[in-house]
């Protein structure tokens, strides 16, 4: 349950905090500063505070996930099945999330006009910087954050993180039949029967119909969606 809640936090963060990305883009394109603030009034601080709490929770969740994968050495995570790309991919995603959330909070902390619930706790760390230096830190964090988001958007379709998009349709199209239930294939049944009792085999017996998968062309669209929805968590092989 704890891991499920942490995953929910990361998912909500991925979706909701990206709303703030709209303002970040508008600020960059128009040269404005907190373009939505005049229109939202007192609700603006409430909204940003919500984003910051969620960003902090996402950061904590990703640190926990990174620790579980690399430090605690949970058995299924150190399996040889995850060697190479699966392990590197998972760590790259977690590190990217940690960096992006940190940059978002740092950007708000360096903003002298902002006084938000989480980033305000970071302001003492920046107290030794001049106004010009704070402006540079804020702009640098802005650029790194936006470039990181765009890089992550391009990386996502090539990574296991694609499951954040495909998990819902994959669950929707999941089979509701009991696990292990197999539909009888008469042609295969007859093939076994004829092998045991050749005298029953007709002279023009047809070859049994194909079943299972020998190569990728034998996979259904649902099989392929399953593959693209895989989180590479190691549970199936464990």
Mean pLDDT computed over 144-156: 93
| pLDDT at residue number 57 | 96
- C-alpha span between 35 and 39 (Å, rounded): 8
Report yes or no on whether pTM surpasses 0.85: no
| pLDDT at residue number 236 | 83
Residue 177 makes CB contacts below 8 A (sequence gap 6+) with none
Helices 163-172 and 221-228, packing angle to 10 deg: 140
Digit-coded pLDDT (tens) for 206-225: 777 777 888 889 999 999 99
Residue 14 makes CB contacts below 8 A (sequence gap 6+) with 58, 164
If 0-12 CB within 10 Å is exposed, 13-18 middle and 19+ buried, where does residue 72 land?
Answer: exposed
Helices 2-30 and 131-155, packing angle to 10 deg: 120
Digit-coded pLDDT (tens) for 11-66: 998 888 888 889 999 999 999 999 999 999 989 999 999 999 999 999 999 999 99
Digit-coded pLDDT (tens) for 113-147: 888 999 999 999 999 999 999 999 999 999 999 99
| pLDDT at residue number 182 | 78
- The region, left, alpha or beta by phi > 0 then psi within -120 to 50, assigned to residue 73 is left
């Amino acid at each position: 349950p704890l891991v499920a809640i942490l995953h929910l936090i990361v998912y909500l963060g991925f979706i909701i905090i990206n709303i703030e990305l709209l303002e970040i883009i508008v600020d960059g394109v128009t040269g404005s500063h907190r373009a939505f603030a005049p229109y939202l009034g007192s609700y603006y601080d409430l909204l940003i505070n919500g984003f910051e709490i969620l960003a902090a929770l996402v950061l904590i969740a990703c640190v926990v996930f990174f620790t579980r994968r690399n430090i605690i050495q949970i058995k299924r995570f150190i399996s040889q099945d995850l060697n190479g790309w699966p392990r590197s991919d998972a760590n790259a995603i977690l590190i990217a999330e940690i960096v992006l959330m940190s940059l978002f909070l740092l950007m708000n902390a360096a903003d002298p006009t902002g006084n938000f619930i989480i980033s305000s706790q970071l302001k003492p760390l920046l107290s030794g910087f001049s106004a010009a230096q704070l402006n540079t830190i804020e702009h640098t964090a802005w650029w790194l954050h936006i470039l990181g988001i765009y890089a992550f958007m391009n990386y996502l379709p090539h990574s296991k993180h694609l499951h954040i998009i495909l998990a819902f349709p994959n669950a929707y199209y999941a089979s509701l039949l009991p696990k292990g239930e197999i539909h009888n294939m008469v042609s295969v049944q007859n093939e076994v029967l004829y092998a045991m009792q050749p005298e029953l085999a007709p002279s023009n017996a047809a070859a049994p119909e194909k079943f299972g998968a020998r190569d990728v062309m034998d996979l259904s669209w649902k099989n392929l969606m399953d593959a693209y929805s895989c989180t590479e968590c190691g549970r199936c092989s464990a």
